[in-house]
């Protein structure tokens, strides 16, 4: 097992060189992963666990911006983002285009300074905190406003703080918040006595049910299902639908869970459709296929 050494501190001379590099005007470019190179002469060895987690649980909202050096010969070299690049490639996304902050350097020595700087001094801001700050600044397109309106929070402690914020953001992006607001209200009203914090992958699954039935009012049907199913009962049915069985030890990856939550709720609606009639499960299946 490789033990990662502590980041090296920058010397006074290195800080002076770095200051000149960082004073450049920021240039942002969208570049394909295939054009980004990794120089292992100064990069850490790949962190296999993180690479695997990114490959298995990647969400676009978590991608962030790569810090990239452009050498005099026009080549692009990753100074911050090598683990993300390897994880995306392991997930078969070699052709993905990513957002990059491009910094002009004279080559490997200056890149090594940038790598040390970001590895030592830059602290990753959790997604929930970033989205909360963007909401306060009014640049999140309304996500925080919806969350607060329903009575939940993005950051903090307590049962009203949402988990799995990446999934909540994905649910918001379905239709600028229409479906996720309905999903949050449905959970709030039907599971108000639950001590569990609402999980983002459940929220996304419920939002998918709303989003997949644009011509049909399904809110009453969704709420009836949630009243019949506690969070634990829904979780058991999701594991059965996934094929993992009812036992707690049968683990389903968070990234795989939302479509099965939607499937279970859709099936439950169609077992007891009432006067509103059955929903179109084909549209749910199409939505699931498009997200794979």
pLDDT in tens, 35-77: 999 988 777 666 777 888 888 877 776 788 899 999 999 999 9
pLDDT higher than 50, residue 2: no
Domain-located, residue 172: yes
pLDDT higher than 80, residue 247: no
d(CA 99, CA 68) in angstroms, rounded, equals 10
Q: Within this chain, do residues 165 and 277 fall inside the same structural domain, yes or no? A: yes
Average pLDDT, stretch 223-235? 95
Q: What's the N-to-C CA distance of the chain in angstroms?
A: 33
pLDDT tens figures, 98-126: 999 999 998 888 888 888 777 665 455 56
Last residue of a domain, one of 88, 120, 152: 120
State the pLDDT confidence band at 95, using cuts at 50, 70 and 90.
confident
d(CA 95, CA 205) in angstroms, rounded, equals 28
Domain-located, residue 7: no
Q: Within this chain, do residues 55 and 192 fall inside the same structural domain, yes or no? A: no
Q: In what order do the strands lie in the sheet with 76-80?
A: 27-32, 97-104, 66-70, 76-80, 36-37
The per-residue pLDDT for 98 is: 93
Average pLDDT, stretch 127-154? 85
Last residue of a domain, one of 120, 151, 184: 120
The per-residue pLDDT for 150 is: 97
pTM of the model: 0.60
Q: Within this chain, do residues 134 and 92 fall inside the same structural domain, yes or no? A: no
Domain-located, residue 6: no
How far, rounded to the nearest angstrom, does the alpha carbon of residue 73 sit from its chain's CA centroid? 35
Q: Quick check: 111 and 75 in contact, CB under 8 A?
A: no
Domain that holds residue 19: 12-120
pLDDT tens figures, 259-283: 999 999 999 999 999 888 999 998 8
Name residue, tokens 């209200």. Answer: 185
d(CA 204, CA 179) in angstroms, rounded, equals 9
Q: Within this chain, do residues 104 and 195 fall inside the same structural domain, yes or no? A: no
Domain-located, residue 5: no
Q: Between 77 and 95, name the one with better pLDDT.
A: 77
Q: What is the DSSP string of 192-210?
A: TT--SPPBHHHHHHHHHHH
Choice among 14-18, 89-93, 223-227 with the minimum mean pLDDT: 14-18
Strands 36-37 and 66-70: unpaired
Q: Within this chain, do residues 112 and 148 fall inside the same structural domain, yes or no? A: no
Last residue of a domain, one of 104, 120, 136: 120
Q: Within this chain, do residues 132 and 243 fall inside the same structural domain, yes or no? A: yes
Among 14-18, 27-31, 57-61, 127-131, the range of highest mean pLDDT:
27-31
Looking at the structure of the chain, the number of domains it has is 2
Domain-located, residue 210: yes
Q: Within this chain, do residues 44 and 150 fall inside the same structural domain, yes or no? A: no
Domain-located, residue 176: yes
Q: Within this chain, do residues 235 and 144 fall inside the same structural domain, yes or no? A: yes
The per-residue pLDDT for 74 is: 95
Q: How far is CA 128 from CA 76, 125, 194, 255, in A?
A: 31, 8, 22, 18
- CATH number, domain with residue 114: 3.90.1530.10
Q: Within this chain, do residues 63 and 179 fall inside the same structural domain, yes or no? A: no
Domain-located, residue 87: yes
The per-residue pLDDT for 94 is: 86
Q: Within this chain, do residues 204 and 146 fall inside the same structural domain, yes or no? A: yes
The per-residue pLDDT for 6 is: 37
Q: Within this chain, do residues 240 and 276 fall inside the same structural domain, yes or no? A: yes
Radius of gyration of the chain (CA): 23
Q: Between 7 and 9, name the one with better pLDDT.
A: 9
Q: Within this chain, do residues 172 and 198 fall inside the same structural domain, yes or no? A: yes
Share of the chain above pLDDT 90, in %: 49
Share of the chain above pLDDT 70, in %: 86
Domain-located, residue 4: no
């Amino acid at each position: 097992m490789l033990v990662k050494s502590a980041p090296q501190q920058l010397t006074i001379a290195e800080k002076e060189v770095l200051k000149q590099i960082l004073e450049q005007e920021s240039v942002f470019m969208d570049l394909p992963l295939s054009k980004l190179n990794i120089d292992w002469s100064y990069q850490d060895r790949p962190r296999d666990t993180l690479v695997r987690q990114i490959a298995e649980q990647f969400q676009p909202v978590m991608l962030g911006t790569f810090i990239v050096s452009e050498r005099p010969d026009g080549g692009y070299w990753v100074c911050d983002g090598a683990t993300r690049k390897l994880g995306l490639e392991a997930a078969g996304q070699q052709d993905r285009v990513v957002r990059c902050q491009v910094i002009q350097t004279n080559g490997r020595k200056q890149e090594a300074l940038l790598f040390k700087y970001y590895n030592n001094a830059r602290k990753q801001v959790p997604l929930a905190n970033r989205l909360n700050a963007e909401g306060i600044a009014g640049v999140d397109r309304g996500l925080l406003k919806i969350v607060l309106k329903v009575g939940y929070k993005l950051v903090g402690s307590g049962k009203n703080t949402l988990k799995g914020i990446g999934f909540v953001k994905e649910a918001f992006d379905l239709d600028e918040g229409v479906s996720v607001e309905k999903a949050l209200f449905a959970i709030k009203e039907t599971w108000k006595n639950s001590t569990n914090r609402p999980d983002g992958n459940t929220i996304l699954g419920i939002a998918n049910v709303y989003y997949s039935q644009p011509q049909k009012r399904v809110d009453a049907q969704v709420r009836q299902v949630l009243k019949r199913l506690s969070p634990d009962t829904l979780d058991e049915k999701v594991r059965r639908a996934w094929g993992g069985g009812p036992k707690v030890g049968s683990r389903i990856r968070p990234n795989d869970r939302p479509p099965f939550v939607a499937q279970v709720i859709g099936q439950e609606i169609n077992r007891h459709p009432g006067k509103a009639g059955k929903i179109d499960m084909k549209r749910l299946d199409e939505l699931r296929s498009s997200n794979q």
